[in-house]
Structures are given as structure tokens and as C-alpha cells.
Chains A and B, each alone.
Chain A
Amino acid sequence: MILAVALVLLVVGSVLFHFLSPWYFTPIASNWGMIDDTVSITFWVTGFVFVAVNLFMAYCVLRYRHKRGSRAAYEPENKKLEGWLIGLTTLGIVAMLAPGLLVWAKFVDVPKDAAVFEAVGRQWYWNYRFPGKDGVLGAVDARFVSDKNPLGVNPDDPFGRDDVLITSPEVHLPVGKPVKALLRSLDVLHDFAVPQFRVKMDLVPGLVTYAWFTPTRTGTFDMLCEELCGTAHFTMRGKVVVEEEHKFREWLSSYPTFAQSLARPAGDAGAGKPLYATCAGCHGAQGEGNPALNAPKLSGQGDWYLKRQLTYFKSGARGAHEQDVYGKQMAAMAATLADETAIDNVVAYIGTLPDAPAPGTLKNDAAEGRNRYVTCGTCHGRNGRGTQATNAPRLAGMSDWYMVRQLANFKQRIRGAHPKDPYGPQMVSMAEILPDDKAIADVVAYINTFK
């Protein structure tokens, strides 16, 4: 009796939940509305079976419960009934499978006019590549991959010279144009997924996979890695900005071609020396940092990281948050660097400064921080040396008080939440695993033990 009521309530509850709950597909932003349609068909067919069979079961449970003197019927089989049930089920299956296969036929058949771009995944971020004027992407090979050639484009392939390299997790696409995403991984499996496009495909090292779609409305859409790719998997995010064609062209032209990035001269430390005089006021003549002036140690830090942060300060991606008092100071100073060449030069000069470990200022328990650092070490290295390949700056021997402040800033989204700081959200997510100030100080105290 109770069981029959419970079954009916579960059926009714499930149906109501389906129609009333606020959790369902996000509004679609691509041409794949027919995927949603196949889902709807599947819902109608399976929903009917769900309701019918369960209500019939509830009826049986109620009607044929044991009563004094009752006895079950004896009917070993009923071929006719079973035949009918098999037939109807087959019909339902065909009703779901046929539209599914038709849509899949469209999905595997890329339109001839689809524009090609490449999304490259690596632990734990995205980069992209667009073909240049020739419309052809240059050849790639894992053995060409280096910090200077992060996507491994073959320098001898003429088709690759004019490829535009997007060294950012954010990609822009023109609205209303079909695009074919070629997908490539440098290390492990990843997955290119944009929930609002309903499109998803794995990246497999050693293969190039693809997916195609037409973005149908402008806006910014979250892109997620949806194939487990290691500890920082959940922070491997990208953004797809869909915009008008001319804005897209403008954005694309702001990135260098492969040839340009190769031709870019290394920074000139000699030219950077006079520029550094301004910096030295706070950061010290040897780049050793000065806690009293809130200036962290610079010497020994990765040049790629210094360059990115100076660029951020200069462009307003960092030091723009109203609570970031010291960041604002630095933004004003970075503004005095004229251009990218000036930044390269001053960074080159910092690279020549002697690298002595910054004195530790924390008294916290390094042993407590050790367990917490396991996650940090995934990108920053077991010994905190940092590496450009994972976008992780050096931590070992750097100013501990500064790391404490930055972790707090990331946690409170004072740093890392600016829309022009695409790598920031990753560290925001990671800083959140440190529950309080003590945890932050513990983990930095552990970093202080690195030699």
C-alpha cells in the first residue's frame, strides 16, 4: 500500500521536477539546436515508458498484494504479449535512433566554407592558432615545442610562417560563420567543451581531432576541459568571445604571426639598465626587494613572468582593483615604460642581477604547509622553481611576505579576476583551497624551506 503510493509519488515528483526545476540546458548559442531536439524526442519517448511502466507496477503492487486466501495466477508465458512488447519497444528505439543518426551525419560532415582554427591544450591551459593569409595552418611536431615556440610549429614550413599564435586562453570567433576547430594536445588527453554550443571533443596527443559549429549570438562563453587531465583539471578553462566580423579581425591582428614572434629580438640588458633606475628605488639596486616599501624581490624570477606582469600593470589588467593599493602604485610605474621593447629590455636587465634568496619573515609551521603545497607543486614544481610551460612563476627564495599578500589577493579576487587577465582565474581557484590566513602563511613557510 505505502509502496504503491510511494511509487506514484516518485513518478509524479520526477515529472514535476523535470518541468519545474530551474536546472536545464543553458540557452543555446550555436547552430546545434537539432541536438536539443533529439534530446527532446528522447525525453518524450523515455518519459512515456517511465510513467507507464512504473504506474503499471504501482497498480500491480496495490491490486495484487497478498490478502487472506488469495493465490497467484499460473501463467508461464504469453508469447503474443511478449511479441507486442518487443515490437513497440523496437518502434520507440527507432524513433530515437533515426533522428540521432541523421544529426550525427551532419556533425561529422564539416561544411566546405568552414573557417579553420586550432585549439591547443596542455596542462592546464589553452592556446590557439589561426591560419594567415594563405588560409593554411603550418605543420607542427612535438619536437619543435619550446618556450619560444609553444605550439611546436615547424619553422621550415612556409605555410606556418604567417600563422597567428594566440598565446592566451581566450579566443575570439566571428558570429554567424561556420568554424572547424582542429584540436591538438601537447601532453595528455583534454576536452574542448563549450556547454552553450553543445559541442565537445577530446584532444588526444599524437592525433588531430575536430569539431565544427556556427556561433549564432555574440557574447562570452565559458570553455571547459572536460576530460580529466591531472590535478589542475578543474582550472583548465578558456573563454570564447563571439563578436562581429570586423571586431574579430581587429582582435586577430593584435596578435603576432609565427614569423614575427620568431623575429622578435631578445631584450637588451644594456638598454634596460637606465630604465631599471626607476625600479631600483623600491625594488633595490640588485632587485633584492624591500618589504618596507612593499616591493618584492625581482632577481631570479622568470623573464616571461616579469614581462607578463609588467604588461598587465601597463594595460590595466593588474593594479586596477580599488583595494589593490600597492598594485595601483606599480601600475603607475609600469606606465612609464614606453612599449614592449622597453619592457623586454628592463626584464633582460633584471635577468643579469645576482640572485640571493630573500630573507624569510614568517614564523609559521612549515610542516603544516607541506601537505598543502602538494597541489601547488603540480605547477610550480616540487621545489618551487616554477616553469613557463605551466605558467607558474618561481616561488623558492622569493619574497615570502609578497606571496602571502598575493595569495590573499587571489582568494579575495583582488587579483586574477580582471577580464584581461585570462590566466588569473586559475590561481583564484587554487588560492581558494587555502581556507584562512594561517593556511596561507603555513604553505609559504614551507616554500621558505626550499633551497
Chain B
Amino acid sequence: MSYVAHDESVFVRPAEVGEMELYHPKTFIGKYIWSQDAKVIGVQYSITAIAVGLVALVLSGIMRLQLGFPHVFSFINPSNYLQFVTMHGMIMVVYLLTALFLGGFGNYLIPLMVGARDMVFPYVNMISYWVYLFAVLLLMASFFVPGGSTGAGWTLYPPQAILDGTPGANWGIILMLVSLAFFIIGFTMGGLNYVVTVLQARTRGMTMMRLPLTVWGIFMATILALLAFPALFVSAIMMALDQMLGTSFFMPALISKGQHLDYNGGSPVLFQHLFWFFGHPEVYIVALPAFGIVSDLISVHARKNIFGYRMMVWAILAIGGLSFIVWAHHMYVSGMNPYFGFFFATTTLIIAVPTALKVYNWVLTLWRGDIRFNVPMLFAIGFIFTFINGGLTGLFLGNVTVDLPLSDTMFVVAHFHMVMAVSPILVIFGAIYHWYPKVTGRMLDDTMGKFHFWVTFLGTYAIYYPMHYLGFLGVPRRYYAVTGTDFIPESAQSLNAGITVATLVVGSVQLLFLFNLVWSYFRGRPSGDNPWGATTLEWQTPHTPPKHGNFGAELPVVYRWAYDYSVPGAEKDFIPQNQPPARTAEDAVDATS
């Protein structure tokens, strides 16, 4: 049998770029605090994002207490309820998910996976984290200013966001807008780094079409973010001007509680266009890294190459491109010209094709695989199931007519939590179980991991699947209580109570995960360099955890794609990317016989 590998080459071009000079810190502070090492920065990003995510998790618990058991917890009132809703949403979407995927995983994995010593601009990379931390602190400060944080909903729609009548319409909204502006400044510094590193600092032999899908996902998401965040940046600045200087970018002539205000001629719908021009790509800024990472998890733990690698890359590019022309599907009932509905419904449903292809390819990777049910794999399969559900409900909301009865109801809440909260979070968990051994040199505890998986996977489904049906019933979102609504039966309240119980269970099991992170750091089983038998470069480092500079004296040279698992004739069921090929097919056979 003569076997020809999918993608391997004997000839590798000589390096065009010389070795980079790294800054070598001498003190503890230089190494771990003001660090310029992308790995340390990645960990800093991750810890900060998880910490602020815990705040948002607690807020969601409080919201659910109110919805499940209205008027039992009297410290929750209609004002602070909206503040909890708003802060939960914004923290989770921007300060947790975006920061963790791009700042956390991006920093840690990109240089390792492309075979670079570090990011291309380490100093800018360091600044990026500190600006992010400053943005987080500003946001947290808004809890403590007079009037509290903003309660305008995470979409921050004017005019209400800056008018009396919405909680936190003074200090709260200003701090939110300034914090977002700083987040974007910090992100831009990091994002340019990720893009330039992927384009310029790949090691010899690492062609674009040999990149692991994790890198493709993060790379494309970063490009989306660099193009989308400016829209949020300008709208934040313009709204801050409307609030502080009385400009009228988004403010028409209006009467607030009987008072004629001095605004005139602005457009609230303009803000929505700008917001969603950022906001829809934002969904994919979170989803694409998750798509990429989960592809690698599935491939490694099924011991099989990812099915249809090239189509997976093209799908990422197509989704990224299309994500910029679907934004107004968030605005079907916003009062924009209703004829836009035809265009945006069509583009939105087209985006389902490349997305569905990715799902098929994940499942087809499992097909005829040799599946190891390690904890990362459990989370990956949990992700596929959850994402199928969340993706399919997107076809309801994306189709303009179907959106009409469902818009602004709990169906929307259920849909976007399924698709861009639970799905990415399951990938994040899977990724942490997968790469923790590389970061710390120790394995996370398996029993705790499996328990964490089952409660999280089944629990979140119990929360969000029934919630869709509250939406069909017509229960609106962002309602503190639905008292006095005739068409909502009593039984809906029992369902809400059940959802709340599930939320509290899922929320508390995350403490076990945190415990596992800390416990395993000290007591976990030593992992060795490559516990999963993975092909990609981060597992081929001479040290675990990798030292500053990642690869010791010599950078690795790449000879093959990232998915040579279970190659027929090969001795092991994986061939690392930097393993030189046998000269001929006969040699390969000889080597194994």
C-alpha cells in the first residue's frame, strides 16, 4: 500500500525573518506583573476575565431570584433589577467572553501554535492588558457612584440611557461609556498584535493552510473586532457627548416627564445601527474562537483529523465576511425602514449555510473516530449539542416574519444565551481542561471535571430550552415582574421558578471548577509535555510550562498540517507538526514495519 500524506513537505524555505530579541526581565515584578511575555499576559487576561465574570454570574443569580420568586427578595427592586440585567450582559459579552477568548487564549496560544517566540510587539501587548484592567476597574467603580451603574440594558439604547427615568443615567452611563472606550483602546493594541503575529511571525513551514483552526478562529475574530469595535467606540463617544455637553447625535426633540429638553434633530435609530454594526460581528468575535478551539479539541480527542479542514477555513472566512451585512436583523421591529427586512433576512439565513457546514464537519470528525471521552471532549460534544439548538433558533429570529411575535420576548433571551453564552462557555471550559496541563504542568482533576461537565451541560439546557416557550407565550424580556397580565397562565410562574432553581445549581457548581483550578495547581497529577498526544506546536515545547521564548534554542520547523492523527502506517496515532517526513512513502512503511 503506498500512502501519501495529506499535506507534508520535505522542503522548507529558509527563515526570512531573523530571530527576535526578547526582553529578559530580572525581577519577579518584571516577570509576572509588568510582564511582556504573551503567556503571562494571557494568564493575566484570563484571571481578570474570570474574576469579573464571577461578578456577572452572581448578578444573573439575583435576576433569576426575582423572576423565579417575585417579591420574595425585597432587596431587588425595579431600579436595581435593571442595573443587574445591564451589568450582567455587558460584563459577560465584552469583559468576559471577548477578553478571555482573544486576550486570554489568543495571547497564550497564538505564539505557541504558530511557532513564535512571543507576540510581535511585546511591550504594546503588556500595555493592552493594563488598559483592559483599567477598563474593568472603571466598570466596577460604576457600582459605587451616586445613582449606581447604568440600567439601560446592555444595548444602552438612547434616549433612555441618558435620561432621568433610567437608573444610573448620570455617573453610571458615563463610566460605562468611558470604560468601553478604554476596553476598545486596550483591545486594539492587543488585536493588532495577534493579527501581525499570525501574519508575520509564523515559523518556517507554517503556511496559513497549516495553521490549527484555533489560530484561524482567533485570527479571524480579531480582524472582525478590529473592524467592528470602532463603531461602538464612536457611538460611546457620541452618546457621552450627548449626555455631558448636550449635543444631539442620538437625541431628537423630546419631553422627559413633562420637561421640554434642549435636544433636537438626533436619531435614536442611528445609534442602533452603529451598535449592531459592532454588536452582530461581536457574536462571531465570541463564536469564531470557540469554533476554532472546539475543532481542535474534537480532532485531538477523537484521534482523527478534522473533517474538511479547507472548508472549515473557508467557512470561518465566509462567516466573518457575512457577519458585517446582517446587523439589522436585531432591528426588524426597531422602526427602521421595514423594507430593510427583506435584505437582512436573506443575508442572515445565508450565514446559516457555512455555519451548518461547520456543525456537520464536527460531527463527521467523530464519525469513524477513536473517541476518548476526556473531559475536554465531553465539553466539546456538549458544545455541539447546545450550539445546534442555539443555531437553529437563530433561524427563527433571523427570518423577519418569524421574528415579529418573538422579538423582545424570553425567546430571544433563551436563544442568545444558548448560542453565545452557554456554547462558548462550554468551549472555554473544554479549552481550560485541555490546555491547563500546558500552562501549569499538572492535570485538572478528572472526577471533579466530569461532575462539573454533567451539571453544567444538563443544567444549562434545563435553564434555556424551556425558556424559549415562555417567549412563544409572549412573556417579554427585561420585565421585573409580569403582574396583571391575563394571557400568561399561572403555570408560567412555576416554570420560571424551576428555571431559577436550575440556575442556582449550575451557578454553584462553578465554584467546584474554581476549586479544581486551585487544587490541581498544587496537587494535580503531573502532565508531562504532551498528555493528550496532540500534534500542534504548543505541545512540542522543550519545557512544560514553556519558558520565556517558548521553544528553547531552536524554533521548530513545520512539515505538515495540524491534523495528522491516526495516519495509516504511522507508528503512533499522531504525528507532530514539526516531525520531518520520511523521504518517500517506502521509507515511511519501512520505518513502521
Q: Which residues of A contact B (CB under 8 A)?
A: 3, 6-7, 10, 14, 17, 21-26, 32, 35-36, 38-39, 42, 45-46, 49-50, 53-54, 56-57, 60-61, 64-66, 70-78, 81-82, 85-86, 89-90, 93, 96-97, 99-101, 103-105, 107-108, 122-123, 141-143, 145, 147, 152, 183, 186-189, 191, 193, 195-196, 198-207, 209, 220-222, 224, 226-234, 237, 371-372, 374-375, 378-379, 387-390, 425, 428-430, 432-435, 439
Question: Which residues on the B side are within 8 Å of A23 (C-beta)?
Answer: 466, 469-470, 472-473, 489, 491-492, 495
CB <8 Å contact, A38 and B401: yes
CB <8 Å contact, B82 and A104: no
Question: Using a CB-CB cutoff of 8 Å, which residues 315-348 of chain B contact chain A?
Answer: 333-335, 338-339, 341-342, 345-346
Question: Which residues on the A side are within 8 Å of B304 (C-beta)?
Answer: 72-74
Q: Smallest distance from the beta carbon of A41 to chain B beta carbons, Å?
A: 9
CB <8 Å contact, A66 and B307: no
Binds A, one of B155-163, B219-227, B511-519: B155-163
**Is B71 engaged at the interface, CB distance under 8 Å to the other chain?**
yes
Q: Which 4 A-B pairs have the closest CB atoms?
A: A389-B258, A206-B252, A195-B474, A72-B304
A186 and B254 contact, Cβ closer than 8 Å, known pairs A86-B353, A222-B485, A224-B485: yes
Q: Smallest distance from the beta carbon of B167 to chain A beta carbons, Å?
A: 6
CB <8 Å contact, A221 and B487: yes
A104 and B254 contact, Cβ closer than 8 Å, known pairs A72-B369, A206-B267, A375-B77: no
Our pick among A50, A53, A226, A428 for the contact of B360 (Cβ within 8 Å) is A53
CB <8 Å contact, B395 and A42: yes
Chain B residue nearest to A146 in the complex (CB): B258
CB <8 Å contact, A205 and B268: yes
Chain A residue nearest to B495 in the complex (CB): A23
Question: Using a CB-CB cutoff of 8 Å, which residues 57-81 of chain B contact chain A?
Answer: 70-72, 74, 77-80
Chain A residue nearest to B259 in the complex (CB): A389
Question: Which residues on the A side are within 8 Å of B370 (C-beta)?
Answer: 64, 66, 70-72
Question: Using a CB-CB cutoff of 8 Å, which residues 432-474 of chain B contact chain A?
Answer: 458, 461, 465-466, 469-470, 472-474
**Is B399 engaged at the interface, CB distance under 8 Å to the other chain?**
yes
Question: Which residues on the A side are within 8 Å of B30 (C-beta)?
Answer: none
How far is it, in angstroms, between the C-alpha of A61 and the C-alpha of B489 when the chains are bound? 40
Our pick among B79, B338, B364 for the contact of A231 (Cβ within 8 Å) is B79
A374 and B79 contact, Cβ closer than 8 Å, known pairs A81-B364, A189-B159: yes
CB <8 Å contact, B388 and A50: yes
Q: Smallest distance from the beta carbon of A94 to chain B beta carbons, Å?
A: 9
CB <8 Å contact, A77 and B311: yes
Binds A, one of B128-136, B419-427, B566-574: B566-574
Chain B residue nearest to A392 in the complex (CB): B257
Our pick among A22, A145, A195, A204 for the contact of B489 (Cβ within 8 Å) is A22
Our pick among A21, A26, A39 for the contact of B474 (Cβ within 8 Å) is A26
CB <8 Å contact, A73 and B258: no
Question: Which residues on the B side are within 8 Å of A86 (C-beta)?
Answer: 353, 357
Our pick among B166, B369, B409 for the contact of A64 (Cβ within 8 Å) is B369
Question: Which residues on the B side are within 8 Å of A93 (C-beta)?
Answer: 349-350, 352-353, 395
10 A-B pairs (CB sep. < 8 Å): A35-B404, A39-B405, A49-B356, A72-B369, A82-B311, A200-B405, A202-B335, A224-B474, A374-B77, A433-B71
Q: Smallest distance from the beta carbon of A262 to chain B beta carbons, Å?
A: 19
Q: What 5 additional pairs, Cβ within 8 angstroms, besides A93-B350, A234-B478, A374-B167?
A: A64-B368, A97-B346, A222-B486, A231-B165, A372-B77
**Is B230 engaged at the interface, CB distance under 8 Å to the other chain?**
no
Question: Which residues on the B side are within 8 Å of A186 (C-beta)?
Answer: 254-255
A74 and B566 contact, Cβ closer than 8 Å, known pairs A23-B492, A50-B389, A90-B353: yes
Our pick among B78, B334, B573 for the contact of A72 (Cβ within 8 Å) is B573
CB <8 Å contact, B77 and A433: yes
Question: Which residues on the B side are within 8 Å of A14 (C-beta)?
Answer: 389, 465
Question: Which residues on the A side are within 8 Å of B255 (C-beta)?
Answer: 122, 142, 145, 152, 186-187, 389
How far is it, in angstroms, between the C-alpha of A26 and the C-alpha of B409 when the chains are bound? 14
CB <8 Å contact, B333 and A202: yes
**Is B47 engaged at the interface, CB distance under 8 Å to the other chain?**
no
Question: Which residues on the A side are within 8 Å of B458 (C-beta)?
Answer: 6, 10
Chain A residue nearest to B71 in the complex (CB): A432
Question: Which residues on the B side are within 8 Å of A226 (C-beta)?
Answer: 407-409, 476-477
Q: Smallest distance from the beta carbon of A91 to chain B beta carbons, Å?
A: 10
A77 and B310 contact, Cβ closer than 8 Å, known pairs A64-B367, A222-B486: yes
CB <8 Å contact, B345 and A97: yes
Our pick among A17, A46, A104 for the contact of B395 (Cβ within 8 Å) is A46
Our pick among B160, B366, B408 for the contact of A61 (Cβ within 8 Å) is B366
CB <8 Å contact, B385 and A57: yes
Q: Smallest distance from the beta carbon of B191 to chain A beta carbons, Å?
A: 31
How far is it, in angstroms, between the C-alpha of A75 and the C-alpha of B333 when the chains are bound? 46
CB <8 Å contact, B79 and A61: no
Binds A, one of B15-23, B103-111, B233-241, B371-379: B371-379
Q: Please give the number of chain B residues whose Cβ is less than 8 angstroms from any Cβ of chain A in the complex.
A: 121
Question: Which residues on the A side are within 8 Å of B12 (C-beta)?
Answer: none
CB <8 Å contact, B366 and A35: no
How far is it, in angstroms, between the C-alpha of A435 and the C-alpha of B342 when the chains are bound? 48
A188 and B165 contact, Cβ closer than 8 Å, known pairs A23-B492, A57-B366: yes
A72 and B267 contact, Cβ closer than 8 Å, known pairs A202-B335, A433-B71: no
CB <8 Å contact, B260 and A143: yes
**Is B563 engaged at the interface, CB distance under 8 Å to the other chain?**
yes
CB <8 Å contact, B392 and A49: yes
**Is B145 engaged at the interface, CB distance under 8 Å to the other chain?**
no
**Is B552 engaged at the interface, CB distance under 8 Å to the other chain?**
no
**Is B208 engaged at the interface, CB distance under 8 Å to the other chain?**
no
How far is it, in angstroms, between the C-alpha of A234 and the C-alpha of B66 when the chains are bound? 13
**Is B14 engaged at the interface, CB distance under 8 Å to the other chain?**
no
**Is B144 engaged at the interface, CB distance under 8 Å to the other chain?**
no
Question: Which residues on the B side are within 8 Å of A434 (C-beta)?
Answer: 74
CB <8 Å contact, B257 and A389: yes
How far is it, in angstroms, between the C-alpha of A54 and the C-alpha of B465 when the chains are bound? 15
Question: Which residues on the A side are within 8 Å of B486 (C-beta)?
Answer: 220, 222
Our pick among B305, B371, B484 for the contact of A76 (Cβ within 8 Å) is B305
**Is B381 engaged at the interface, CB distance under 8 Å to the other chain?**
yes
Question: Which residues on the B side are within 8 Å of A221 (C-beta)?
Answer: 487
**Is B384 engaged at the interface, CB distance under 8 Å to the other chain?**
yes
How far is it, in angstroms, between the C-alpha of A352 and the C-alpha of B77 when the chains are bound? 38
How far is it, in angstroms, between the C-alpha of A168 and the C-alpha of B101 when the chains are bound? 51
CB <8 Å contact, A378 and B165: yes
**Is B482 engaged at the interface, CB distance under 8 Å to the other chain?**
yes
Our pick among B166, B258, B465, B483 for the contact of A17 (Cβ within 8 Å) is B465
CB <8 Å contact, A39 and B381: no
Q: Smallest distance from the beta carbon of B347 to chain A beta carbons, Å?
A: 10
- Chain B 559-589 per-residue mask, 1 if CB under 8 angstroms from chain A, else 0: 0000101111000010000000000000000
CB <8 Å contact, B476 and A224: yes
Chain A residue nearest to B331 in the complex (CB): A202
CB <8 Å contact, A100 and B399: yes
Our pick among B260, B481, B565 for the contact of A145 (Cβ within 8 Å) is B260
Q: Smallest distance from the beta carbon of B71 to chain A beta carbons, Å?
A: 5
CB <8 Å contact, A189 and B338: no
A227 and B402 contact, Cβ closer than 8 Å, known pairs A75-B307, A142-B255, A375-B77: no
A74 and B342 contact, Cβ closer than 8 Å, known pairs A57-B363, A228-B152, A231-B78: no
How far is it, in angstroms, between the C-alpha of A275 and the C-alpha of B291 when the chains are bound? 77
Question: Which residues on the A side are within 8 Å of B256 (C-beta)?
Answer: 123, 187
Question: Which residues on the B side are within 8 Å of A101 (C-beta)?
Answer: 342, 345-346, 400-401
CB <8 Å contact, B566 and A188: no
CB <8 Å contact, A100 and B401: yes
Q: Smallest distance from the beta carbon of B574 to chain A beta carbons, Å?
A: 10
A10 and B335 contact, Cβ closer than 8 Å, known pairs A56-B363, A72-B304, A195-B405: no
Q: Smallest distance from the beta carbon of A53 to chain B beta carbons, Å?
A: 6
Our pick among B253, B268, B401 for the contact of A35 (Cβ within 8 Å) is B401
**Is B32 engaged at the interface, CB distance under 8 Å to the other chain?**
no
**Is B249 engaged at the interface, CB distance under 8 Å to the other chain?**
no
Question: Which residues on the B side are within 8 Å of A204 (C-beta)?
Answer: 268-269, 334-335
